[in-house]
Amino acid sequence: MPADSPLESRVRSHLARLASRGLLRTPKPPSGIDLSSNDYLCLSRDPRIRAALVAGIERDGVGSTGSRLLRGERDVFREVEARFASFKRTDRALYLSSGYLANLAVLTAYAESDDVIVSDERNHASLIDGTRLSRARTVVCPHNDRDRPSRLLAETPCSGVRFVVVESLYSMDGDMAPLADYLAICRAHGATR
């Protein structure tokens, strides 16, 4: 981009504001005790998993080369999903490459524009993005409120399906949702959970 473009000026201005507030960050390799990643069980360093990944790369190559519908399907994907479905005692399972994509996929696949989603105010960004992309009407309720979801479901006009979207364990706060209460609320209002 040209040095004098409006976008260049905007970016420099934003960076200057961040720097003046001490908020500029430079990525660094991890060190010390891990209290902030998604590798809670330290599986990224497990020698058995590393060996299995190397064997998989030698057998199948690196990457799926595209979406599963076009050229990315691999036997190993179906095998993993079948084993997990068996473990969970369900007919089928679908693996996605991240929890973020899983949340986007579920919400955009099921919720539609005539639906209503009651969403906890502390839901993960992936759930918030999923509700936005679904085009359903989203109503935000206070965190872990045991009463407001019921009122919102009753008061919010809906010609489609009603959903209640919460996390079971809020990883940033460490608290858990009152799932039994929410299940009762969903049943009382015919909402999907």
Distance CA 48, CA 3 (A): 50
In a domain, 25, yes or no: no
The reported pLDDT for the residue numbered 3 is 66
Dihedral pair phi/psi, residue 118, rounded to 5°: -95, 120
Residue 63 binned pLDDT confidence (cut-offs 50, 70, 90): confident
- Domain housing 146: 99-189
Residue 1 or 144, more confident = 144
- Amino acid identity of 42? C
Q: In this structure, are 108 and 166 located in the same domain?
A: yes
Q: In this structure, are 140 and 108 located in the same domain?
A: yes
Distance CA 127, CA 142 (A): 15
Q: Is 85 in contact with 92 (CB distance < 8 Å)?
A: yes
Tens-place pLDDT, residues 97-138 = 889 999 999 999 999 999 999 999 999 999 999 999 999 999
Tens-place pLDDT, residues 5-62 = 899 999 999 999 999 999 998 888 888 887 777 787 889 889 999 999 999 999 888 8
Q: In this structure, are 109 and 170 located in the same domain?
A: yes
Residue 21 tokens, joined: 């507030």
| Domain of residue 182, CATH code | 3.40.640.10
Distance CA 95, CA 76 (A): 11
The reported pLDDT for the residue numbered 1 is 55
In a domain, 9, yes or no: no
In a domain, 159, yes or no: yes
Q: Is 145 in contact with 182 (CB distance < 8 Å)?
A: no
Place of tokens 């497990």: 46
Q: In this structure, are 176 and 144 located in the same domain?
A: yes
In a domain, 8, yes or no: no
Number of domains in the chain: 2
Q: What percent of the chain has pLDDT over 90?
A: 68
pTM of the model: 0.76
Q: Examine the pLDDT at 74 and tell me if it is beyond 80.
A: yes
Strands 175-176 and 169-170: antiparallel
Q: In this structure, are 83 and 134 located in the same domain?
A: no
Q: Examine the pLDDT at 193 and tell me if it is beyond 80.
A: no
